[in-house]
Structure 1
Amino acid sequence: MMEVMLTNKLKMVDILFLCLLLTCYFVLVNHPGFSTGKGGESG
């Protein structure tokens, strides 16, 4: 039972971590100042 609970917790943490990474990634990408090409608006 303990192992199942631990794996479920790990899965939840993984999903939350992935969501956080995706959110940060999209925020950085959509931010007008963080794009590597400072001149290109299309992307």
Structure 2
Amino acid sequence: MIEAAGDRPLAALPSLAARMDALIDAGHGGEDLAVLAIDAVR
């Protein structure tokens, strides 16, 4: 999605992508979108 945006400014997408990459690296790749808040419920 970042590549598709081209030169257009991105507000949140780069941070969201980095968070998703970190969660996938931590072994949460098979979980749904709710895993983004995993640190809030631990």
Q: What is the TM-score normalised by the length of structure 2?
A: 0.40
Q: Which has the higher contact order (CA 8 A, sep 6+)?
A: 2
Which has the higher Rg, Structure 1 or Structure 2? 1
- TM-score, normalising length: structure 1: 0.40
